[in-house]
Structure 1
Amino acid sequence: MFKVLAFLAAIPCTGYADTVTGNDLHSACTANGEIKDLQFGYCIGYIGGAFEGIKFGAGAVMFQAMPESSTTEVDQASNAMLGFCIPENVERGQIVDVTMKYLEENPQSRHESARGLLFQALQSAFPC
């Protein structure tokens, strides 16, 4: 029970006006100590969820803009709009790795939104 409470206390708390920063995400992704596994779970969960949210949001817009198009056409248009084209065979762990690498290589930007930094990492690693 203590580990769970310690984990919950260590997770960045985001209110209405707050956002998870690159520093928050970097800390979770590189955590050591007793709650390392829980923090890393937060790390991969955040990155996976943010990635899916970005893709879903772009897809929803494109489905509305292109109602007669196929799913493949909508996905291609979404990729063009987002500025990254991730090959189908890329695994979720690679998305995490790319994001973590970007956070490590850009410490000057880690105070910014983690979601925005994820977006930049994907554009850098998987340009269209």
Structure 2
Amino acid sequence: MKKVLIFLAIFYSFFISNGYAAFKTGNEIYPGLEDWKRTPSINQTTAAVAFGYVVGVSDALDQAIFCLPPSVTAGQITDIVYAYMRDNPQIRQKDASYLVATALKPYFQCRK
């Protein structure tokens, strides 16, 4: 069920954005991540899209850029990416998928 919800969030993001999800910047998804961290969320759609984007990109890059252990949760992944973007506002204009990879790589390096 969780995978279906994540898929729907990513799929939905194609229709509510001004471009394709692959061309989102950190500036575009950061407000949604902030909202995702807020309880209760002010805009659940924006929060779900940002959460789905981060989880989708991390799933796509898993085993290529970094290696996620089976025990890591989507919440942990999103927490790491949110903290990285919060602590590095000077680079939020970069491609969001690059920022996701850059945030996760130090924590989930692949073993040789």
Would you say same fold, with TM above 0.5?
Answer: yes
Matched residue count: 93
Spell out, residue by residue over 1:83-123, the C-alpha distance to the aligned partner (whole angstroms, 9 max, x if none).
x2322211111111111111111111100000000000111
**RMSD over aligned Cα, in angstroms?**
2.7
Q: Distance in 1 between matches of 2:29 and 2:76?
A: 16
In structure 1, give the amino acid aligned to 2:60.
G
Q: Distance in 1 between matches of 2:96 and 2:82?
A: 11
TM-score, normalization by structure 2 = 0.69
In structure 1, give the amino acid aligned to 2:69.
P
Spell out, residue by residue over 1:12-35, the C-alpha distance to the aligned partner (whole angstroms, 9 max, x if none).
4115xx810001010121248x95
C-alpha contact (below 8 Å) 2:23/2:95 kept by paired residues? yes
Whether 2:60 is the aligned partner of 1:53: answer yes
Partner of 1:104: 86
1:44: Cα distance to partner? 0.9
Hey, which bits of structure 1, 4+ residues long, moved more than 6 A?
A: none
Match among 13, 26, 34 for residue 22 of structure 1: 26
Match among 70, 73, 84 for residue 88 of structure 1: 70
In structure 2, give the amino acid aligned to 1:39.
T
Unaligned ranges ≥5, structure 1: 1-7, 56-78
Match among 113, 120, 124 for residue 102 of structure 2: 120
C-alpha contact (below 8 Å) 1:28/1:40 kept by paired residues? yes
> Percent identity among equivalent residues?
30
Structure 2 vs 1, CA of residues 36 and 44 (structure 1 numbering), >3 Å: closer, same or farther? Answer: same
Higher CA-based Rg: 1
Q: Distance in 1 between matches of 2:51 and 2:84?
A: 15
